[in-house]
Amino acid sequence: MVFISNILKDGKLISYEEWIAYVDSLKKEIKTEITDESGAVEIITEKITGAIKKRIPETHFGILLSGGIDSTLISFLCKNYTDNFTCYSVGLESSPDIDFSLKAAEKIGLNHKTKILSLQDMESLFFRLAKILGKELINIVNIGVGAVELAAIELAKKDGANILFGGLGSEEIFAGYQRHENSTNINEECWHGLKSMWKRDFLRDCRIADSQKIKFLTPFLDRDLILAGMSISGDLKIKNEFKKYILRKSALSLGLPKEFAFRPKKAAQYGSKFDKAISNISKSKGFKYKSEYLNYLCNNK
């Protein structure tokens, strides 16, 4: 089961139509746009702190830590309230996410575990993931991102941690993708992206979480944080060549070191080098394209 605010009903993922209606209802609630940077920092600081604090479990839990702004901020804020958690990071040898997560854990003082996977490990992981996702959900992004999630979950479960914080939703609310930068209306693109999450993210993550009997905690999808984030001018979301600028400024105001608050974005499959693993395994099996390897996974899972 995935714990994502307002997308579950009776423990099951709500329908696509219900999610679209929910996002539309949030959009209607926003009456004014925040254009003042200090005001925007203040409200995001308040809402992200509240979203994380109210989700902290009483039992031991985990955090999926990549060393990027989202997961490092979650870890940093959780540290203010409890030490009853462990951060988990996975990747290939010398992957950026392993390097940055180690730096973040040392700087903040986090209980942290890592796993460096070999190509042999990755091939086994991809097969397990393909079986979980099923043919209809197998694509380059789902295999790359899903493999990061699955590897970290398996690492966490060895500690008995079956509740995990993640940063899902931050990219859409705070404009973290290139398509936001290319858009003529950043916030409209954010709304469109929020709606797209049901097919692009929720289906994959729900299937993985259900198969592993774990819960994801996703504070960036907190209702109040979405409303606050989406009330902020797009000009404050991408500024000075930084995507998610206002979130980064809020993280700085909370005390997160600048090297993590302003770390350039690395998607999970690239920061872990798992996408590179897909390429290398594809070539080792004689496939010219990664898509051919995915077809192989579909037919041999």
Q: Is residue 247 part of a domain?
A: yes
Q: Does residue 2 form part of some domain?
A: no
User: At 5, is the pLDDT very low, low, confident or very high (cuts 50, 70, 90)?
Assistant: low
Task: Say what the pLDDT of residue 4 is.
Answer: 47
Quote the domain boundaries for residue 51.
8-300
User: SS3 of 78, please?
Assistant: helix
Any domain includes 58: yes
- The pLDDT confidence band at residue 301, using thresholds 50, 70 and 90, is low
Query: Is 36 within the bounds of a domain?
Result: yes
Instruction: Please work out, in degrees rounded to the nearest 5, the angle formed at the alpha carbon of residue 225 by the alpha carbons of 221 and 228.
Output: 140
Closest CA to 2 of 215, 166, 213: 215
pTM for the whole thing?
0.95
Q: What is the pLDDT of residue 2?
A: 43
Q: Answer whether residue 277 is part of any domain.
A: yes
Q: What is the pLDDT of residues 108-149, one digit of tens each?
A: 999 999 999 999 999 999 999 999 999 999 999 999 999 999
Tokens describing residue 224:
């109040």
**Residue 177 domain-assigned (yes or no):** yes
For the stretch 249-256, contacts whose Cβ atoms lie closer than 8 Å and that sit 24 or more positions apart, written own/partner, are 249/37, 249/40, 249/41, 250/40, 250/41, 250/44, 250/45, 250/48, 251/69, 251/73, 251/76, 253/41, 253/45, 254/45, 254/49, 254/73, 254/76, 254/77, 255/76, 256/69, 256/72, 256/73, 256/76
185: domain CATH number? 3.40.50.620
E strand map for the chain: 8-9, 12-13, 61-64, 85-92, 112-117, 163-165, 215-217
1 inside domain: no
Q: Per residue in 165-220, pLDDT tens?
A: 999 999 999 999 999 999 999 999 999 999 999 999 999 999 999 999 999 999 99
Split into its structural domains, the chain has a count of 1
Is 3 within the bounds of a domain?
no
Report the percent of the chain where pLDDT is more than 90: 92
